[in-house]
């Protein structure tokens, strides 16, 4: 449902920004309420805490002409109004309705900028009406809505400073792109200065030019760090969807789980956050499905029937630590050993810590049982790869019978470099644009072989052209002549690199290299491309230096 014809249609983004966190609070509260009811606690305060938010969502949605959202909020308000009364049937059915409705509300608001199917909202309203119709206390007059109207709650955010503006994140991405162009233009200017210096020699004007180019660089890097700070978002923006998902896995697995989240206000770059959701979700569902025991088993082991799952974030010495821990059975060392042996890994000499690290190895991370989320999830090895590609580390501690803890350490901000993405032997590589002079279609007759090296005419100069497969050591023989070359420059050095495909320009987030892999001489880091593939970033300076020494 679009808000296009509505007089306030232009405020759709503002609507989402304000209503989505409220809906997430409501959804979390319903998950918590269900947990409390099962533990025999009436949860009155939890119920009371959502009425203000639901009412605001209802009003906001109505103003925006977003009928499905208004209807769901309204139905939930009615349901809460009924459940707040003495003698209401607060059972599994009511809890399931609340949790479903909370989730639906989050989904509807989150996708409000797209067309929304009204079907789900209608179905939900019908279910609520059905429930209220058969519930013993629901009077013919329906639930008392005025109760909800008057019960109000102070909420966070009301004291928000007036100097804060909300910005659509796409604008920050656009600013980053412009900054990238500025950085490239600065490199061109610096190069021009060096060429002038060679041609006319040192003079006063050139000295001033040098100073100006230098201060331009300082300004640009200040701008870059300011922009990087602006891109920081609280981790709660990702954590928000976890309670409901943990609850879903717990239901499917027959587990009882309390999720405790702390440090939601810790900040990370949005690019990191966007990629962190999947691995964290995997760690959490893994903990519920395999870490925590069934309630009966827990009681027999002298633990509370309800398992404790903790998700903690904190800023630690310039980085962000995120920890997922449970009080379950701990890693099964015997099973890890058996699987490793089956894959031909010799574990006889491995100590406990080394055994635990094996859970991150492909083929060992897959759990025996298929869980509901495993189908769309990733293995622990893939989760670890994502963390590594973000420049982060992941460690595991575990004690038999006491539980496991996965600790992630992540950089707060990221270096972002606009790059040319190329393909060589079906792998993708990133070449920082500041080192790309031109991309040229390689006509075979224009490249001559001199002393076993390709040479071509480029802008009036003779430059070497090397095969990327040979430079990168892909180890594959070149099947057909590669159709393009990229003219790379570093200082006065330049060289062509023959590649299979030019994919395009992209802002890439620079990640460190996995120390375990060592540092290949021609690669300065890695990145994850938009499609999730890992690409190596070429270290152009080293490639050109190597070529110079090779000559």
Partner 1 sequence: MSESFLVIDDSKLLHQMYRLIFSQGDLAGSTIHYATNGREGYGLLAAHPDLTLVFLDLNMPEMNGLEVLARARAERLHSHVPIVLVTTESSEDDEARGLAVGAWDYLRKPFQPADIQRLVRRARELRRGRGAA
Q: Which residues bind partner 1 (CB under 8 A)?
A: 7-8, 10-11, 14-15, 18-19, 52, 55-56, 58-60, 62-63, 65, 74, 145-146, 149-150, 152-155, 158, 160
To the nearest whole angstrom, how small is the minimum distance from the Cβ of residue 144 to partner 1? 9
**Closer to partner 1 at the Cβ: 124 or 429?**
124
**Closer to partner 1 at the Cβ: 29 or 424?**
29
Q: Residue 441 in 3-state DSSP?
A: strand
To the nearest whole angstrom, how small is the minimum distance from the Cβ of residue 53 to partner 1? 10
Q: 303-316 b/e with 16+ CB inside 10 Å = b?
A: beebbbbbbbbeee
**Closer to partner 1 at the Cβ: 109 or 364?**
109
Q: What's the sign of the alpha-carbon dihedral 267, 276, 46, 59? A: positive
Q: Are 55 and 151 in contact (CB under 8 A)?
A: no
Q: Are 170 and 187 in contact (CB under 8 A)?
A: no
Q: Are 454 and 466 in contact (CB under 8 A)?
A: yes
DSSP string, 259-293: EEEE-TT-EEEHHHHHHHHHHHHHHHHHIIIIISP
To the nearest whole angstrom, how small is the minimum distance from the Cβ of residue 17 to partner 1? 8
To the nearest whole angstrom, how small is the minimum distance from the Cβ of residue 77 to partner 1? 9
**Closer to partner 1 at the Cβ: 155 or 493?**
155
Tally of CA atoms within 13 A in the half-sphere of 284 that contains its CB: 27
DSSP string, 181-218: HHHHHHHHHHHHHHHHHHHH---HHHHHHHHHHHHHHH
To the nearest whole angstrom, how small is the minimum distance from the Cβ of residue 174 to partner 1? 22
Whole-angstrom distance, CA of residue 503 vs CA of residue 521: 24
- In which element (H, E) is residue 437 found? strand 436-441
122's tokens: 């209608």
End-to-end Cα separation, the chain, in angstroms: 65
Q: Are 537 and 465 in contact (CB under 8 A)?
A: no
Q: How far is CA 61 from CA 20, 55, 166, 331, 547, in A?
A: 11, 10, 20, 47, 63
To the nearest whole angstrom, how small is the minimum distance from the Cβ of residue 76 to partner 1? 14
**Closer to partner 1 at the Cβ: 17 or 174?**
17
To the nearest whole angstrom, how small is the minimum distance from the Cβ of residue 3 to partner 1? 11
Whole-angstrom distance, CA of residue 129 vs CA of residue 78: 9
DSSP string, 291-356: ISPPHHHHHHTTS-SSEEEEEEEEEETTEEEEEEEE-SS---HHHHHHHHHHTT---TT--HHHHH
**Closer to partner 1 at the Cβ: 60 or 325?**
60
Q: How far is CA 435 from CA 184, 211, 438, 463, in A?
A: 9, 22, 9, 15
To the nearest whole angstrom, how small is the minimum distance from the Cβ of residue 521 to partner 1? 54
**Closer to partner 1 at the Cβ: 58 or 435?**
58
To the nearest whole angstrom, how small is the minimum distance from the Cβ of residue 430 to partner 1? 40
Lookup result for tokens 């606009």:
418
**Closer to partner 1 at the Cβ: 165 or 480?**
165
**Closer to partner 1 at the Cβ: 125 or 490?**
125
**Closer to partner 1 at the Cβ: 157 or 444?**
157
To the nearest whole angstrom, how small is the minimum distance from the Cβ of residue 499 to partner 1? 49
Whole-angstrom distance, CA of residue 153 vs CA of residue 29: 14
Strand partners, 461: 458
Q: Are 80 and 44 in contact (CB under 8 A)?
A: no
**Closer to partner 1 at the Cβ: 11 or 355?**
11
To the nearest whole angstrom, how small is the minimum distance from the Cβ of residue 166 to partner 1? 9
Q: Are 67 and 108 in contact (CB under 8 A)?
A: no
87's tokens: 């003698």
**Closer to partner 1 at the Cβ: 63 or 190?**
63
**Closer to partner 1 at the Cβ: 2 or 428?**
2
To the nearest whole angstrom, how small is the minimum distance from the Cβ of residue 11 to partner 1? 5
To the nearest whole angstrom, how small is the minimum distance from the Cβ of residue 161 to partner 1? 12
Lookup result for tokens 């060096």:
194
To the nearest whole angstrom, how small is the minimum distance from the Cβ of residue 71 to partner 1? 11
**Closer to partner 1 at the Cβ: 14 or 427?**
14
Q: Residue 24 in 3-state DSSP?
A: helix
Whole-angstrom distance, CA of residue 224 vs CA of residue 202: 31
Which among 116, 105, 99, 125 is positioned nearest to 21, based on CA atoms?
A: 105
């Amino acid at each position: 449902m679009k808000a296009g014809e509505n007089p306030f249609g232009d405020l759709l983004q503002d609507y989402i920004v304000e209503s989505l966190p409220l809906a997430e609070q409501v959804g979390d509260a319903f998950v918590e309420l269900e947990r409390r009811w099962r533990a025999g606690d009436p949860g009155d305060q939890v119920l009371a805490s959502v009425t203000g938010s639901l009412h605001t969502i209802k009003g906001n949605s109505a103003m925006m002409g977003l009928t499905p959202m208004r209807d769901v909020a309204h139905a939930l308000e009615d349901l809460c109004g009924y459940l707040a009364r003495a003698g209401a049937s607060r059972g599994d059915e009511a809890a399931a309705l609340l949790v479903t409705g909370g989730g639906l509300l989050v989904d509807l608001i989150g996708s409000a900028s797209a067309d929304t199917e009204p079907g789900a909202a209608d179905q939900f309203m019908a279910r609520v009406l059905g429930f209220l119709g058969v519930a013993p206390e629901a009077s013919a007059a329906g639930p008392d809505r005025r109760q909800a109207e008057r019960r109000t709650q102070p909420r966070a955010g009301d004291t928000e400073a007036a100097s804060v503006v909300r910005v659509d994140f796409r604008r920050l991405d656009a600013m980053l792109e412009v900054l990238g162009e500025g950085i490239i233009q600065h490199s061109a200017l610096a190069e021009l200065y060096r060429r002038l210096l060679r041609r006319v020699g040192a003079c006063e004007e050139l000295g001033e030019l040098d100073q100006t180019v230098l201060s331009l660089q300082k300004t640009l890097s200040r701008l870059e760090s300011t922009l990087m700070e602006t891109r920081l978002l609280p981790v709660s923006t990702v954590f928000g969807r976890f309670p409901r998902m943990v609850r879903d896995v717990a239901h499917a697995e027959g587990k009882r789980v309390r999720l405790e989240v702390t440090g939601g206000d810790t900040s990370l770059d949005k690019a990191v956050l966007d990629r962190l959701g999947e691995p964290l979700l995997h760690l959490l569902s893994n903990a519920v499905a395999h870490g925590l025991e069934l309630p009966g088993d827990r009681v027999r082991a002298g633990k509370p029937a309800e398992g404790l799952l903790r998700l903690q974030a904190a800023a630690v010495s310039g980085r962000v630590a995120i920890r997922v821990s449970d009080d379950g059975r701990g890693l099964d060392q015997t099973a890890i050993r058996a699987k490793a042996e089956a894959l031909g890994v010799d574990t006889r000499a491995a100590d406990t810590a080394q055994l635990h690290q094996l859970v991150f190895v492909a083929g060992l991370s897959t759990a025996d049982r298929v869980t509901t989320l495993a189908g769309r999830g990733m293995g622990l090895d893939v989760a670890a790869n994502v963390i590594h590609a973000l420049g982060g580390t992941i460690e595991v501690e575990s004690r038999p019978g006491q539980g496991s803890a996965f600790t992630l350490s992540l950089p707060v901000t990221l270096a972002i470099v606009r790059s040319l993405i190329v393909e060589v032997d079906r792998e993708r590589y990133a070449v920082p644009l500041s080192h790309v002079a031109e991309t040229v279609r390689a006509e075979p007759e224009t490249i001559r072989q001199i002393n076993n090296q390709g040479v071509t005419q480029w802008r009036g100069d003779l430059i070497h052209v090397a095969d990327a497969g040979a430079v990168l050591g892909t180890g594959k023989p070149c099947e057909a002549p590669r159709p393009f070359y990229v003219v790379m420059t570093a200082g006065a050095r330049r060289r062509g690199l023959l590649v299979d495909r030019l994919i395009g320009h992209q802002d890439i987030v620079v990640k460190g290299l996995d120390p375990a892999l060592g540092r290949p001489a021609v690669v300065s880091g890695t990145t994850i491309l938009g499609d999730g593939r890992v690409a190596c970033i070429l270290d152009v300076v080293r490639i050109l230096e190597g070529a110079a020494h090779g000559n």
